[in-house]
């Protein structure tokens, strides 16, 4: 008899090794975000939490903070005459003019520069962007010289030569002109990184979109801007809007640089950031200054949410 043996091939069983925690995608992503998380926590998250905590206390730097509840906020909105009469109206006026004004000016200049050749565009863009980097130096030297309150001031000298005035005007020491000068100088130095982002957004728009739109009946440049340019660069528009809002509420240093003092002359250019510096670093009422800074944080947050609603792609 022949014995038939059925030989079965036995394939080796390969055990899949479980990935080590250090080799998972989640760990790698977390490791990449860790440096940012540390820096964000140290310089933004933790200071914000501390400021919120201090806003419910009386703290003069020397003694331990004493809990006062909502007293700082109640005082701010009911008893702080400087805040209610000068700081709040000045901040709203300044932000509503410089924020949208600087934003619109950034877009207009970016659109105009996008229409010319690359080399002159780069040179002009750099010249426009430079004041945002060196604004404090320029303001401290150039603009204070232009608006100087003696005969050496450029504007006073010119007006006296034209017999418009008999004696120099104290532009930077009186409330009559100070806010207007602040707004003018702020708009001059408002072409920051949001301006560069808008140039980049405009230059990256596909030219075929414009060609197709003109074939479909688009007639002029205004329609081109509203129907093609702006909808095609909403991320850059949102970024520019956020930067404009933040800068508008964070440029109180311009008034201090122009006048050389905090508070500014007769509180004419006193913004909320100046009020924070006044109570925090001059009077050393850190708890009250923290309460004002929390209010500023909430205002900036609300304006940013409005900008996201306007320019979000959803």
pLDDT band at 241 (very low <50, low <70, confident <90, very high): confident
Locate the domains of the chain by residue range: 25-53, 81-311
CATH architecture group of domain 81-311 = Orthogonal Bundle (1.10)
What digits encode the pLDDT tens for the residues 73-90? 999 999 999 999 999 999
pLDDT average, residue stretch 38-46 = 92
Q: Which of 254, 238, 242 has the alpha carbon at shortest distance from 94?
A: 254
pLDDT at res. 312: 72
Q: Which helix (H) or strand (E) holds 66?
A: strand 66-67
CA distances from 3 to 7, 8, 9, 289 (A): 12, 15, 19, 98
Neighbours of 258 (CB within 10 A): 23
pLDDT average, residue stretch 260-288 = 92
Where is pLDDT greater, at 16 or 66?
66
What digits encode the pLDDT tens for the residues 192-214? 888 899 999 999 988 888 888 88
- Is residue 279's pLDDT more than 70? yes
CA distances from 253 to 132, 186, 205 (A): 13, 10, 37
Neighbours of 173 (CB within 10 A): 19
Where is pLDDT greater, at 1 or 273?
273
pLDDT at res. 132: 82
Average pLDDT value for the chain:
86
pLDDT at res. 7: 47
Tokens of 100: 């949208």
- For the whole model, what pTM was predicted? 0.82
Three-state secondary-structure class, residue 50? helix
Least confident of 216-220, 226-230, 256-260, 302-306: 216-220
pLDDT band at 296 (very low <50, low <70, confident <90, very high): very high
d(C-alpha 176, C-alpha 38), whole Å: 47
Q: 98: burial class by Cβ within 10 Å (0-12, 13-18, 19+)?
A: buried
Q: Which of 152, 151, 155, 149 has the alpha carbon at shortest distance from 169?
A: 149
pLDDT at res. 1: 45
Question: Angle at CA 271, nearest 5°, toward 267 and 275?
Answer: 80
- Is residue 137's pLDDT more than 90? no
Alpha helices in the chain, H assignment, sequence order: 25-40, 46-54, 71-78, 81-82, 88-113, 118-138, 144-146, 154-161, 178-188, 193-203, 207-215, 221-224, 230-232, 234-248, 253-259, 272-277, 286-311
d(C-alpha 104, C-alpha 22), whole Å: 49
What digits encode the pLDDT tens for the residues 1-34? 444 444 455 555 555 555 566 667 777 788 888 8
Neighbours of 195 (CB within 10 A): 25
The angle that helices 193-203 and 88-113 make with each other, rounded to 10 degrees, is: 30
């Amino acid at each position: 008899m022949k014995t038939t043996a059925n030989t079965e091939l036995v394939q080796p069983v390969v055990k899949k090794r479980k990935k080590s925690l250090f080799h998972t995608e989640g760990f790698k992503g977390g490791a990449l975000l860790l440096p940012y998380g540390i820096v964000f926590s140290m310089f933004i998250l933790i200071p914000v939490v501390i400021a919120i905590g201090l806003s419910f206390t009386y703290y003069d730097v020397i003694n331990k903070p004493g809990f006062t509840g909502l007293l700082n906020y109640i005082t701010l909105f009911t008893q702080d005459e400087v805040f209610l009469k000068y700081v709040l109206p000045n901040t709203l006026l300044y932000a509503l003019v410089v924020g949208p004004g600087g934003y619109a000016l950034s877009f207009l200049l970016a659109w105009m520069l996008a229409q010319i050749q690359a080399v002159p565009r780069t040179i002009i863009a750099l010249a426009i962007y430079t004041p945002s980097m060196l604004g404090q130096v320029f303001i401290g030297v150039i603009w204070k010289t232009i608006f100087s309150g003696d005969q050496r001031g450029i504007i006073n000298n010119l007006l006296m030569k034209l017999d418009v005035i008999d004696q120099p005007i104290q532009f930077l020491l009186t409330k009559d002109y100070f806010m207007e000068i602040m707004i003018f100088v702020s708009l001059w130095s408002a072409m920051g990184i949001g301006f560069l982002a808008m140039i980049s957004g405009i230059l990256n728009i596909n030219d075929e979109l414009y060609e197709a739109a003109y074939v479909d009946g688009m007639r002029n440049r205004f329609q081109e801007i509203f129907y093609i340019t702006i909808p095609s660069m909403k991320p850059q528009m949102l970024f520019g809007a956020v930067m404009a809002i933040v800068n508008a509420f964070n440029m109180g240093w311009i008034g201090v640089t122009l006048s050389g003092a905090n508070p500014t002359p007769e509180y004419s250019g006193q913004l909320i950031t100046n009020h924070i510096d006044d109570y925090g670093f001059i009077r050393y009422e850190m708890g009250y200054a923290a309460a004002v800074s929390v209010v500023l944080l909430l205002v900036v947050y609300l304006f940013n949410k409005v900008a996201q609603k306007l320019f979000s792609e959803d």
